[in-house]
Amino acid sequence: MKITAGTPDAMALLSVLRKEGALVDVYSAEFFSRQPAYEDDPKAPFTKDGMRYIVELESDPESDCYPRGHLLFIFVDDYRPELRRELTRVYPPLATLIDNSRHNPDFLLLNLYTRQVLSVGLGRKNRLFVVDAASGDPVNAFGLTGIEDHDRYMQIFMEHDPYNASEDLIRALHDLGSAMFRYDNEQATIEDIEHSLEGDPDENGLYPLIDSSGEPLTDELYTKSELSDLHDELSDYRRSEDEALKVINAFFPQCERAELNTGDY
């Protein structure tokens, strides 16, 4: 991972990203201190006392795992072109991956031990992509990217990642993309169905599918049961989105569905 613009420039950029909340030093006291206590949220991806295990792990003479300070996650904000330009300036291989007539990565994962940089994002149809930034080669990330080769790259990347934070973020983005794609490709939203069911059925007990303005979304008519089933299906997709976003927000609270959704269907 050669920083061609020089270490001072790189460190200055990382400092700016950290102050803006766009960079997370995963195995740090700062990261764990802003997580909820287990008692407050037993389902949280990380908890406030998580750093205790890391300190014990690094103090164990039989352990060869040293997580602290080696794993940085960067949020590549589509609304911050100047920061994206700085990223490509200090690490030129990113120029082929950022602002280059393709979907930008949503996140960069930096392993400072192995000097690997992963470009991770959602592309067409909200499909996950994971690319080694140095070579531009796609990476088989836990069988999620459709790459047939072995997963040795990720095994090396995660040797000092005992909480599997890298896998958590990558899987969460994959699951979010999949759920958003399925939701957005249905013929209506949850709100549309609720609005439709608020009206009266026709003489045959059938309902039109309408949006909030009363405009029909289709010429077909539906039974109450059919609309309820579709409502349940869409609610399942939304729950999947919420679960995935909860993981992503553990790292970057500012990330929202609309911002990560490519809408490129």
Structure tokens at 244: 């995935």
pLDDT tens digits for range 29-46: 999 999 999 999 999 999
Give residues with Cβ within 8 angstroms of 53, minimum separation 6.
162
Do 180 and 261 form a contact (C-beta atoms < 8 A)?
yes
Contact 230, 186 (CB under 8 A): yes
Domains of the chain: total: 1
Is the residue at 145 inside a domain?
yes
Does 99 map to a domain?
yes
Residue 185 lies in a domain: no
The dihedrals phi and psi of 138, each to the nearest 5 degrees, come to -70, 150
**For position 146, what pLDDT does the model report?**
80
Give the distance between the most distant pair of CA atoms in the chain. 78
Residues in the chain: 265
- In which domain, by residue range, is 124 found? 7-163
Q: How far apart are CA 171 and CA 250, in angstroms?
A: 14
Task: Examine residue 255 and state whether it is found in any structural domain, yes or no.
Answer: no
Which residues, 6+ apart, have CB-to-CB distance to 146 below 8 Å?
A: none
* Domain contains 180: no
Beta bridge partners of 216: 210
Domain membership flag for residue 124? yes
User: What pLDDT does 6 receive?
Assistant: 46
Chain segment 94-141, per-residue pLDDT in tens = 999 999 878 999 999 999 999 999 999 999 999 999 999 999 999 999
CB 58 within 8 A of CB 65: yes
Entry pTM:
0.93
In a domain, 222, yes or no: no
- DSSP-assigned beta bridge partners for residue 119: 108, 131
Distance CA 45, CA 34 (A): 12
Q: How far apart are CA 182 and CA 141, in angstroms?
A: 22
pLDDT in tens, the chain (265 residues): 333 444 788 889 999 999 999 999 999 999 999 999 999 999 999 999 999 999 999 999 999 999 999 999 999 998 899 999 999 999 999 999 999 878 999 999 999 999 999 999 999 999 999 999 999 999 999 999 887 776 789 999 999 999 999 999 999 999 999 999 999 999 999 999 999 999 999 999 999 999 988 899 999 999 999 999 999 999 999 999 999 999 999 999 999 999 999 999 8
Q: What is the pLDDT of residue 3?
A: 36
Point out which residues pair with 129 in neighbouring strands: 121
179/14 Cα distance (integer angstroms): 32
51 within 8 A of 29, measured Cβ to Cβ: yes
Continuous H helices in the chain:
7-19, 29-33, 50-59, 81-90, 152-157, 165-184, 190-198, 224-251, 257-260
